[in-house]
Every structure is written in structure tokens, then in C-alpha cells.
Amino acid sequence: MRVLLYTPSKTLPEWRDALARALPEGELRAWEPGLAWRADYAALWYPAAEVLAGQTALKAIFNLGAGVEALLKRIALPPGVPVIRLEDAGMARQMAEYVTWAVLRYFRRLDVYAAQQSRADWKLHRPLRYADFPVGVMGVGVLGTHVARALAALGFPVLGWSRGKKRVDGMRLFAGPLELNAFLGGSRALVCMLPHTADTDGILNRHTLFKLPAGSYVINVARGGLVVDDDLLVALDAGHIAGATLDVFHEEPLPAAHPYWRHPKVLITPHASAITLTDESAAQVAEKIRRLERGEPVSGVVDLARGY
């Protein structure tokens, strides 16, 4: 089988080597302008718009990341060719580590103690009660469910919200627009893990943020476009939102002039909550290619109508 590869130049050697190791029986070529080579499969990340020109024999397109919105915006997809996203590949554990750290940092007042250290202020704060600190996970797919279970294992009551009805043991679930307010009203910390689609764009806005209980904490590890930045800043300055840990942004890298950088209630990380692990991801792509070659079904197929 012939696999066409495109990733940004700084990651291309790593991906090329990893896929070559994972799929030694395949023929792999990196895309370049003018390449006349018909592939069976394409493995892409932030591709050039013309990367699939002339590719009329593709059996599947693999997105080399969990989020597919960049792929869907950048290229015209051949009709009838499935798009397959990465599933976990080492990201779920990283995401659970990051989110539990962010929740515990606020729950245990570690952000307050860090601020006190800068003032040489020795002051003890009484701990919060787990029962009084339900955590809402907005988006309960593969990664969101893993995060929710990690939080529940620590003793937090966990709520989940998704666009459609789901069932996950040990979690109180809400679904759809009619149940969104009830979900938000019960969440002392909100973890946003939704895909970024036309329906979820700007879903954390002035209306929804002020549905959270006063003093709530916001964590966004999904996509920057889910948050209306000006509205979050208003909620922070009003004291309704006590603080936020933000790993993703509308524009990345986050511009130096953005007010998030200097806001005392905002902690920023550079899209580091779950970094794609190349070897694990290449092994997943290789195994799915083998399954497709055998005529077997694969998981992770993107619903193009829903955008994830």
C-alpha cells in the first residue's frame, strides 16, 4: 500500500521515520509540489490546500491528530473517502494528568499560595470539601470520558454534558441545549473538551459563563474558538469566574499583546495538555491501514456532517 504523508516541515522527519517503522510493508512518500504519485492512503496534519490534487485512488485519509477542524478547513475532500482521526494514542493519560492538576491547583488553593509567596504572606486556608466541588466535563468522548474517570477516582462528583445522549457509568450526564443550563449550574469547575464545530463555536460566552455558580473555575483544553475571550475576561473581572487555566487559543502562539498574558486570574500553557506521541500514533495508523486492506472496519471515522 502507498501512503502519502504531509506534516509541517519541522515534524516531517519524525513522522516519516515513525510511519516507516510502523508500516514496513508500505511505500511512503512525503508530499512536495508537483509530485505525481497516486497513493492508496494519505496521512496529513495541517496540509497544503493542493495536497490531494490528482489523488483519485484514495481509500482513506488519516488525520494525524485528535482534532480534525484544521484538516476540514484546509483541503477539499474527495467524495466518498473516509477521514479517520487518531484515538487516544497516549493523549488520554496526558490530558487526565493536566486536567486533574488544574482542578487540584484551584481546589487545594495552590494558586492562592503561589500568589502569597510573591508577597511573603504566611496564611493558611481551610480546604474545600469534595462533595461541594462537582466538576463538569463538557464533551464526553474518548478523552473526556478518560478525564472524567480520573477526576472521579480522586473523589470529585463529576457531571458530563454532550450534544447527544450518552451513558457513562459513575457520571451524571446531561445532553443537548435544554439540559445545558442545569449542567452549568451544577459545575464548580468546568472542563471544556468539546470538538470545535459550527454548533460549538463560542459556546463559552457571557450567557453560559454566568450560568456557572459564582466563584467557579474554567479549564479549556479543547480549542480556543470555543471561548469568547472578551466574555471570559468580563466574567473574571466581575469575580463571577474565580480563575481559568487555558491551554488553547483562537490564535496560536498567543499574541504577546493579548490580555490573558497579564491577567492575574489566568494561567496559560502553550497547547501542551496532550502532545501527540508520534510512535504510538504511527502504530495506530499502520494497524488501521492493515485492517482496511483486509476489508475490516476501523474506529475513529469522522462524521463529516457533524465535524468530528
Q: 109, 206, 250, 271: which is the annotated catalytic residue?
A: 271
Query: CA–CA separation, 281 vs 14, rounded Å?
Result: 12
Q: Is the dihedral of CA 11, 15, 17, 18 positive or negative?
A: positive
Query: CA–CA separation, 191 vs 149, rounded Å?
Result: 13
Helix (H) or strand (E) segment spanning residue 4? strand 2-6
Q: Is 223 a catalytic residue?
A: yes
Q: Which three cell numbers stand for residue 246?
A: 487555558
Indicate the SS3 state at residue 3: strand
Q: Is 125 a catalytic residue?
A: no
How far is residue 16 from each of residues 7, 30, 282, measured CA to CA in Å? 9, 8, 9
How far is residue 43 from each of residues 84, 186, 246, measured CA to CA in Å? 9, 41, 29
Q: Which three cell numbers stand for residue 233?
A: 475576561
Query: CA–CA separation, 58 vs 30, rounded Å?
Result: 15
Q: 85, 146, 188, 223: which is the annotated catalytic residue?
A: 223
Q: Hey, which residues are catalytic here?
A: 223, 271
